[in-house]
C-alpha cells in the first residue's frame, strides 16, 4: 500500500518541536541578602526560606 512521502509538513513539524528548546533557568533576587537564587528554593548562604530560618548559616572561611 502506498504511503504519502511527506505526511507532516515542515511547518507542523517545527511547531511541534518549538517546545523542545532548552530554557535558561530563572533566578530571582533575594529580598534580604540581595543575591540571586532559584524561586521556591532555600537560600543556601543564609539558610532561610520565605523569611524563616530553615538551615544553620554557612560559615565562610
First to last CA, the chain: 73
The mean per-residue pLDDT over the stretch 40-51 comes to: 88
SS3 at position 53:
strand
Q: With the C-alpha atoms ordered 29, 33, 34, 37, is the resulting torsion angle positive or negative?
A: negative
Integer-rounded Cα Rg, in Å, for the chain is 23
Structure confidence by residue, pLDDT tens digits, 8-18: 899 999 999 99
The mean per-residue pLDDT over the stretch 22-48 comes to: 89
pLDDT of 60 strictly over 80: no
The whole-model pTM stands at: 0.54
pLDDT of 59 strictly over 80: no
The mean per-residue pLDDT over the stretch 25-41 comes to: 89
The Cβ of residue 21 has, within 10 Å, a number of other Cβ atoms equal to 6
Question: Residue with C-alpha cell 507542523?
Answer: 12
Amino acid at each position: 500500500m502506498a504511503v504519502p512521502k511527506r505526511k507532516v509538513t515542515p511547518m507542523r513539524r517545527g511547531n511541534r518541536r518549538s517546545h523542545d528548546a532548552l530554557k535558561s533557568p530563572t533566578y530571582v533576587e533575594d529580598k534580604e541578602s540581595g543575591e540571586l537564587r532559584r524561586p521556591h528554593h532555600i537560600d543556601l548562604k543564609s539558610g532561610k526560606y520565605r523569611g524563616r530560618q530553615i538551615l544553620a548559616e554557612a560559615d565562610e572561611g
